[in-house]
Amino acid sequence: MSFDLAQTLKDNEGENFRLHSRFMNPQMARVLKTLGFDRYYTKGEGCYLYDRDGQRYLDLLAGFGVYALGRSHPVIKQALHDAIDADLPNLVQLDCALLSGLLAKALVERSHEGIERVIFANSGAESIEAAIKLSRYATGRKRILYCDHAFHGLTNGALSLNGGREFREGFGPLLPGCEEIRFGDLDALERELRNGDVAAFVVEPIQGKGVNLATGDYWHGVQELCNKHGALFVADEVQTGLGRTGRFFCHEHWDLKPDIITVSKALSGGFVPVGATLCSAKVHDKVFSSMERAVVHSSTFAQNHLAMVAGLATLQTLDEEGIVDHVKVKGQLLMDALSPLVERFELFHEVRGMGYMVGLVFGEPRSLGLRARWKMMEAARKGLFSQLIVVPLFHRHRILTQVAGDNMNVIKLLFPLVAGDEEIEYFVQSFTDVLEDAHKNSSLMVEFGKTLVKSAMRRDGD
Ligand SMILES: Cc1ncc(COP(=O)(O)O)c(C=O)c1O
């Protein structure tokens, strides 16, 4: 008998949390149950997820930024069906495959003129691993600088550049020579670069953890200082790249020319893992300097045809549907709709971001009653207030959002890039409703408490 996917899904419907608790990550299953996020999703389309009861959820996580074109985009689906049906000679390995060559060309054509070569990978973290190796070899230097709150993935090399203690603790010793500096602090960067032993400064144009932005002056300074001191400037565009911020690459907002650019997430079309490290011919030639060194860096699946096809179809669709300009216009609309709420609600302190990468920042209110409630929540757990918003957004309004990082009162919105007026309006309305409640009375807290109690009871029944 052949494998029957539909039957397999039918036979095991709703078993997802039990399987994860038993065979995968029980703690993750507990977290999701505690928040009441335990659903059995059966379909994903465009900006929406659907559960087994046919309920629709607005997905503002977009698979952590993967779903630029929304879920199940028909062009990407068709391209992948076509690739499978064509019985293409995938992963010949001792070959120069056409499709990876085409995707490399398409990426280079969309980059600044200093970018000439591409090394493919299977994930964002792996594209960072390549950036670390390239930088060290090409410069002959060992040290790598990264920022506080940085997130570049969780493999050992990428973890060595992680600015969050919660991720690093207990996994050491990590890569030697990696030094943390403050995001946005040019003096700190210069102090480190002055020694002349820094291979690279690896940095996100907008930090994912917290949605932190730096000024144009900072970025121009980064470019200048790296050039002056012979360190490579590595822009990690894994999350910000491919239109998310209203430009194809986020660094284009400040006319920067990084030496190395990493991409991943959206390039996959949401279907096939992929990553890429883009660099100059000069850097590449230093590392791959002879025929003996032709294989010093690679990965078995990195150029797999399905990933290459998904990437090519994604780039073409981004162009054809004018997605980058769409994000620029709609991102501004979203920002304009959210900004007045900062004036109106004292717990809501700031909205920041670019395009469809937006941070909603909460903080201590002025009025006494509210302040007492805020303090109580913060004393229970730092950053708990943002969960008080995330949970009712999900339960009342069926909107999936996330807290932007550990111990912070920032919610991050990653709209699918195809989202339009309908999604923006629905989010702003729903967010306003939740904020009104958070300011009016403590019913939101009671609701939140109930969710926790209900989940705890369900957990006991596992
Ligand atoms: C900026 C950035 N770099 C790297 C990564 C790691 O990517 P992956 O999870 O595919 O390894 C992420 C993931 O969120 C990211 O946001």
Distance, CA of 212 to chain centre:
13
Instruction: Name which of 119, 45, 85, 439 is nearest 276 in CA terms.
Output: 119
What is the per-residue DSSP string for 335-372? HHHHHHHHHH-TTEEEEEEETTEEEEEE---SSHHHHH
> Structurally, how many domains does the chain consist of?
2
At 364-406, the pLDDT tens digits run 999 988 998 899 888 888 888 999 999 999 999 999 999 999 8
Quote helix, strand, coil % in the chain, to nearest 5.
45, 15, 35
> Measured between alpha carbons, how far is 327 from 60 in angstroms, rounded to an integer?
14
Spatial distance between the Cα atoms of 410 and 405, rounded to a whole number of angstroms: 7
Quick check: 174 and 238 in contact, CB under 8 A?
no
Best probe residue, ligand 1, of 129, 244, 264 (max atoms within 8 Å of C-beta): 264
Same domain, 313 and 421: no
Beta-carbon contacts of 365 under 8 Å, excluding residues fewer than 6 positions away, are: 346, 347, 371, 374, 439
Note whether 247 and 361 are same-domain residues.
no
pLDDT digits (tens, 9 = 90+) for 316-347: 999 999 999 999 999 999 999 999 999 999 99
Same domain? For 108 and 96 the reply is yes
Instruction: Specify if 1 maps to a domain.
Output: no
Residue 8 lies in a domain: no
pLDDT in the model for residue 54? 96
Report residue 445's pLDDT band, with 50, 70 and 90 as the boundaries: low
Query: What does the block give as tokens for 360?
Result: 């909603």
**pLDDT > 80? residue 87:** yes
Q: What whole-number distance in Å separates Cα of residue 160 and Cα of residue 144? A: 9
CA-wise closest residue to 318 among 242, 264, 419: 242
- Residues 81, 164, single domain; the answer is yes
Check residue 441 and give its pLDDT: 67
Alpha carbons within 13 A on the beta-carbon side of 241: 24
pLDDT at 174: 98
- Kindly report, residue by residue over 95-107, the tens digit of the pLDDT: 999 999 999 999 9
**Is any ligand 1 atom within 6 A of the Cβ of residue 236?**
yes
Ligand 1 atom with minimal separation from the 154 CA? 11
Mean pLDDT of 401-429: 97
pLDDT of residue 369: 86
Helix (H), strand (E) at residue 438: helix 421-440
**Whole-angstrom distance, CA of residue 41 vs CA of residue 64:** 17
In a domain, 85, yes or no: yes
Instruction: Place 461 in a pLDDT band, splitting at 50, 70 and 90.
Output: very low
Q: Which atom of ligand 1 is nearest to the CA of 64?
A: 14
HSE (side-chain half, CA atoms, 13 Å) at 350: 12
Query: Is there an atom of ligand 1 within 6 Å of 151 CB?
Result: yes
CB-side exposure of 300: number of CA atoms within 13 Å? 0
Same-domain check for residues 290 and 335: no
290 and 169 within one domain: yes
Distance 367 CA to ligand 1 centre (A): 39
Residue 208: count of CB within 10 angstroms of its CB: 23
Percent of the chain with pLDDT over 90: 91
Query: pLDDT tens, 23-47?
Result: 999 999 999 999 999 999 999 999 9
Q: Which residue has the tokens 């659903």?
A: 39
Per the confidence metrics, is the pTM higher than 0.95?
yes
249 and 387 housed in the same domain? no
Backbone CA torsion sign across 144, 146, 151, 152 = negative
Closest Cα to atom 13 of ligand 1: 153
pLDDT by residue (tens digit) across 265-315? 999 999 999 999 999 999 999 999 999 999 999 999 999 999 999 999 999
What's the confidence (pLDDT) of residue 449? 64
**Which atom number of ligand 1 is nearest to the Cα of residue 273?**
10
Domain identity same for 229 and 80: yes
Judge if 184 and 100 occupy the same domain: yes
Whether ligand 1 lies within 6 angstroms of the CB of 125 is answered as yes
Task: Please check whether residues 25 and 53 belong to one and the same domain.
Answer: yes
* CA–CA dist 240, 246 (Å, integer): 9
Coil, strand or helix: which one is 462?
A: coil
Pocket test for ligand 1, best of 127, 132, 151 (most atoms within 8 A of CB): 151
> pLDDT by residue (tens digit) across 180-205?
999 999 999 999 999 999 999 999 99
**Where on the phi/psi map is residue 120: left (φ > 0), alpha (ψ -120 to 50), or beta?**
beta
CATH code assigned at 153: 3.40.640.10
Please report which confidence band the pLDDT of residue 411 belongs to, taking 50, 70 and 90 as the band edges.
very high
What is the rounded CA–CA span in Å between residue 26 and residue 35?
A: 14
Summarised one tens digit per residue, pLDDT across range 144-160 is 999 999 999 999 999 99
Residues 294 and 437 in one domain: no
Ligand 1 neighbourhood includes 239 CB (under 6 angstroms) = yes
Domain shared by 101 and 188, yes or no: yes
Other residues' Cβ atoms within 10 Å of the Cβ of residue 133:
17
Q: Which domain does 296 fall in, by range?
A: 74-320
Task: Return the CATH number at 29.
Answer: 3.90.1150.10
Q: Domain boundary residue among 320, 344, 378?
A: 320
Work out the mean pLDDT of the chain and round it to a whole number: 95
Q: Cα torsion for 150, 415, 155, 96, to the nearest 10°?
A: -120
Q: Is residue 6 part of a domain?
A: no
The last residue of a domain, from among 263, 294, 320: 320
Residue 10 lies in a domain: no
Position 117 scores a pLDDT of 98
**Among 149, 152, 212, which is best to mutate for testing ligand 1, by the most ligand atoms less than 8 A from CB?**
152
